[in-house]
Amino acid sequence: MRCHQHLEVEADAVCAGCGRGICRQCQQPTIDQKVLCGLPQCAATVKAHAAVPYVIRQSCSNRAAECQVFSGLFRATSLLLLLPLLFVLATSFCTTILWVGTNFGTPWGLRAGTGEAAFLMIMGGVFCLLLILTVTAWRWHTKFQLIQQTWEDLASEFQLREFPDDADDTP
């Protein structure tokens, strides 16, 4: 590859902005070790590309915050559904004891009719529905926690490091 300004000279590097070959005389190094050819549009392109990691990190952080909110909502929903679930379970248990005592003729049993049996079936259905909703809400909570952690890890990958070799200099 030849230099785009000096056609007789072999190129030593490639411009980070436009991709043209450049010789040692045409090279203009930047702060972040990229080489430019000197055209103004290349400097603008490299400057715009320098903002990309910041934008990606900010976007990932925003998505992590959104997932944290959704995770909290699903956690609160599952805990709120747990209270009526426990109430239905306790009510059904007490009614079942009375109903079983009646049908088997124990002295503490009350006389039960078809209303109590229907009530138990309805309470069983409500219990199953609440159980399914509670478990589903809790699973969504854990899924959003995992997604949040993924976004946070991705955001940390685009963290700008000022001195990358400082970790190796520690005694």
What pLDDT digit, counting tens, does each position of 93-118 carry? 877 777 666 666 655 555 556 676 67
**Residues in the chain, how many?**
171
Is the confidence at residue 7, as pLDDT, over 70?
Answer: yes
Q: Out of 45-54, 82-91, 95-104, 134-143, which region has the weakest mean confidence (pLDDT)?
A: 95-104
Question: What ranges do the domains of the chain cover?
Answer: 13-46, 52-157
Give the relative orientation of helices 114-157 and 52-103 as an angle to the nearest 10 degrees: 160
Q: Residue 164's pLDDT is what? A: 45
pLDDT 10s digits, 59-74: 999 999 999 999 999 9
Please tell me which residue, 158 or 144, carries the higher pLDDT value.
Answer: 144
Find tokens 């930047």 and name the residue. Answer: 30
pTM of the model: 0.59
Long-range CB pairs of 52-61 (<8 Å, 24+ gap) are 53/158, 53/160, 54/158, 54/160, 56/155, 56/158, 57/155, 57/158, 57/159, 57/160, 60/151, 60/152, 60/154, 60/155, 60/158, 61/151, 61/152, 61/155
Q: Give the percent of the chain with pLDDT over 90.
A: 24
| Separation between Cα atoms, residue 112 and residue 104, nearest integer Å | 11
Residue 170 token pair: 């520690």
Q: Residue 53's pLDDT is what? A: 80
